[in-house]
Every structure is written in C-alpha cells, then in structure tokens.
Copies of this chain bind each other. A is one copy, B any other.
Amino acid sequence: MSIQNGHTKHLNVAVVGGGLVGSLEALFLARRGHRVSLYEYREDIRKTPHVRGRSINLALSVRGRRALRDVGLEDIMIKEHGIPMRARMIHRPDGSTYSIPYDTRTNQCIYSVGRNYLNAVLLKESENYKNVTRHFNHKLLEANLPKGELKFVKMDTKETVSVDADLIVGTDGAFSAVRRAMLKQPLFDFSQQYIEHGYLELCIPPNCQGGFQMPPNYLHIWPRGNFMMIALPNQDCSWTVTLFMPFKNFKGIDSESKLLEFFEKYFPDSIPLIGEKKLIDDYFGGSPSPLITIKCRPYHVSDKAIIIGDAAHAVVPFYGQGMNAGFEDCTILNNLFQKHKDDLTQILAEFSNTRWQDAFAICDLAMYNYIEMRDLVTRPSYRIRKALDDLIYWISPDLWVPLYNSVTFSTMPYSQCVKNRQWQNKVLAIIIFAAGVFAFILLCWARR
C-alpha cells in the first residue's frame, strides 16, 4: 500500500480482526470509498465448523440495529436471522416460571442472533464492495502504530506479509494485539480485570418434532443468588444455555453424581430439557471460561491507528451490550468521518476524547447487571422498583426512561443513562419519603 494525502477520500485502511465489529467497520469504510484490507487471524468463519464453548448467540438491540441499518443489513438480520425476545422468563427452583417484560410501554424487544450467522452476513456483504479485500489466516506479528506499519504471518504458509496503511483499525477483540502495541505508548491508561466467576455452555436440543422445548420469545433466566443459568433461542430451535458461577463452585462439581445433584437442587426443570447424558457430556467435555473487563484510553495513536469494539472496551456479557457497543463505535466513527471530512487527526482524537466515558459506563453497568440478573431480580424490592419505573415511564415517556430501557432501547450515551438513573434514584427517594410522611399524617388524622 502507498501513503495517500491526509484529506483524500481514498485512504488505505487496514482493519485488524475480522469478527463482528471488524467486518462491519470494513463495510462502513468501504461505503465511504476507502480501500479496506481486512485481516483475520482465524480461517474464514464461513468455512469453519462451529467451535464449541464460544458464545454462539447474542442479544441484538437498538444500538446494534442502528449500525446494521446504516449499512443496509438491519432487515435481513432481524427478519431472517433474529428471534425476538420480549421478556425475561424467570425459572424458580421449583420449576415454576413467571415473566418480566423488557418494555411494557412500546413492546420493544431484543433479538437473539447467531454470532456466526451475523459474521457470515457481514463478510458476504463485503464481497459486494470492490474496495474491500479479505485476508484470513493472517496473524499480527508486529505493529509500528505511529508509522502505520504492520507485519503479519500467514498461518498456513508461514510467509510474512508487511503492510503500510494510512489508518490501522484494531478490531481484534478483548485480547487485542493492536492494543498490546499501544501499551507501550506514553500516557496510555489500561486495565484488565477478571471476575471470580466463569461460564460454561450447555445446550437444550430441539424436541422430536424439531421445535422449541421452551417458549421461544424469552430470555430464560434461572437466578440463584451467587450464580445463574440463562438460555437464548437459536434458529434451529435449540437453546444455548450458559451457566455462570464462581470458578471454585465449578471446581467443586467434579463427578457425575455431584453434577446431577447440583442440577436437581437448583435447575430441576432443565434436566429433562437438556437430557441427563448430554448434560454430563457437555459439562465435563468443556471447562469454564473466564470473564474479563477491559478499560483503556486513549483509543488512538496520532492520525494512524485506532481501536474499537472489544479491543477498546471488553465488557462482561450481562447487559447484552458487548456487540451493540462495538457496533455503536462504528456508527460514531462513521459520523466523525462525515463531520471532519475524512481528516484522520480530528476524527481519531474526537473519538478518543468522547467515547471513553460511555465505554467505561457500559463496563460498569455490565458488571452491575450480573448482580441484578442472578440475585436482585428475585427480590420484591426489585419488582417494586421496576413497577414504579414502568409506571412513571408510561405516564411520562420523554422525561423518565428506566435504566434498562435507555441502555437497550435507545441510543442515549451510556454515561447519560447512568446519570439519568442517579437523578431518578434521588427523585424516587423523595417520592417514597413524601409518601411515608403523607401516610403517617393520614394515620394520625384517622386516629383522632
């Protein structure tokens, strides 16, 4: 590749990482006329059989949908590949269930989509652009970000490939090699934090008729205090079941009898759905994966490199916002390309300076939501709060958007969602206090 003038419309862009965010970002850049080379460490996902253990379905919500709409792919994802989930379905330990809708006012929903489906759709779409080339099996070896230089090794032939780009976009996920090169830059703040819980994937297969074994339009949750299990529906009528639990608890379940005892105690209704043998095979066939939160800043190196998506802000999965936040990065970056007429110096600096507050906010929100999902959701205080929230939201939808709704069903900046919640908490405290005083006065008056 050759260096172009800063302000031309035909930049040579190297996108490192061909996952969801990388393949979407390639489309955004291609639509602006830039020449995009997309490098991916793995083989073309369209040619790979499913790898067990990696989260295979995701919850697509408004932020992700907006980005897909911008590249003309919202409808195909929603209509052909997405399964709407309109409510949480809570499973009690006795097997009984009840549901908590996501959005009582406008009946919005989140969509369960397959990671591989979505990635394949994005990659296939990129083939419609002559200015996008795809390079699979390319592992990043070295990066000189200030100079825009990359060196890859081809995993099959072991040949090395040198690349010289006007812009490097790092979309290579939570363990980003591009970000690793940024670690040496002066004044680069970085943190990686694991939680003490891991996750393990199980599966509920379709029934004999090839249909769903549970009502499909729900995100099923088995909240159990310090741990939980969830299930999201797949296109083939199976369910991806994920058990989240402290690593030490996983370690304690080290025999078939202990596993069955554990499931009979906490998730009895799931055993006939998963099947006893399959449960044992899947549990002992895998090992729990860790969950990490990544925060860093700045996201850019001069006018040459930027990281977005999980590479910039990996979150734990409990708000269903990892992919949505990454897709929103693409939207924001695209708007900045528009605003600054492809002037990289301004685009990258503004992205870095404005996005981190929202990225930090969603990292914290995702961590908080784990406690809500596995514990708080079962408590009366949670349901009272939610009822109050929904009531005021219903009365005054412009003024009062509950936290979950603003995060999931709006494009309000994440940091603003948090600030909203804070003043809502204060208002509710005052209302409850006033109601208490009023009740007390009423009582005194009635007793006279």
Contacts and interface: CB of A to CB of B under 8 A. Distances in A.
Interface of A: 183, 186-194, 290
A188 B192 CA distance: 8
A233 to B, nearest CB: 31
A13 B197 CA distance: 34
Nearest to A189: B193
A192 B189 contact: yes
Contacts of A192: 183, 188-191
Contacts of A290: 186-187
Given A187-B194, A189-B192, A191-B192, 14 more contacts: A183-B192, A186-B194, A186-B290, A187-B290, A188-B192, A188-B194, A189-B191, A189-B193, A189-B194, A190-B190, A190-B191, A190-B192, A191-B191, A191-B193
17 contacts: A183-B192, A186-B194, A186-B290, A187-B194, A187-B290, A188-B192, A188-B194, A189-B191, A189-B192, A189-B193, A189-B194, A190-B190, A190-B191, A190-B192, A191-B191, A191-B192, A191-B193
A432 to B, nearest CB: 28
A183 B186 CA distance: 18
A194 B185 CA distance: 11
A290 B194 CA distance: 27
Copies of this protein, total: 2
A182 to B, nearest CB: 11
A187 B291 CA distance: 9
Contacts of A183: 192
Sort A-B residue pairs by CB-CB distance and give the 4 closest, nearest first.
A191-B191, A187-B194, A189-B193, A190-B192
Contacts of A193: 189, 191
Contacts of A187: 194, 290
Contacts of A186: 194, 290
A188 B193 CA distance: 7
A179 to B, nearest CB: 11
Contacts of A188: 192, 194
Contacts of A191: 189-193
A188 B191 CA distance: 11
A159 to B, nearest CB: 23
A81 B316 CA distance: 52
A140 B61 CA distance: 47
A150 to B, nearest CB: 20
A92 to B, nearest CB: 33
Nearest to A247: B187
Nearest to A194: B187
A191 B194 CA distance: 12
A171 B136 CA distance: 40
A194 B194 CA distance: 21
Nearest to A190: B192
Contacts of A189: 191-194
A404 B170 CA distance: 45
A143 to B, nearest CB: 15
A25 to B, nearest CB: 26
A291 to B, nearest CB: 10
Nearest to A198: B187
A16 to B, nearest CB: 18
A239 to B, nearest CB: 28
Contacts of A190: 190-192
A193 B360 CA distance: 14
A173 to B, nearest CB: 14
A343 to B, nearest CB: 23
A191 B290 CA distance: 18
A288 to B, nearest CB: 11
A420 B397 CA distance: 48
A190 B183 CA distance: 12
Nearest to A180: B183
A192 B187 CA distance: 9
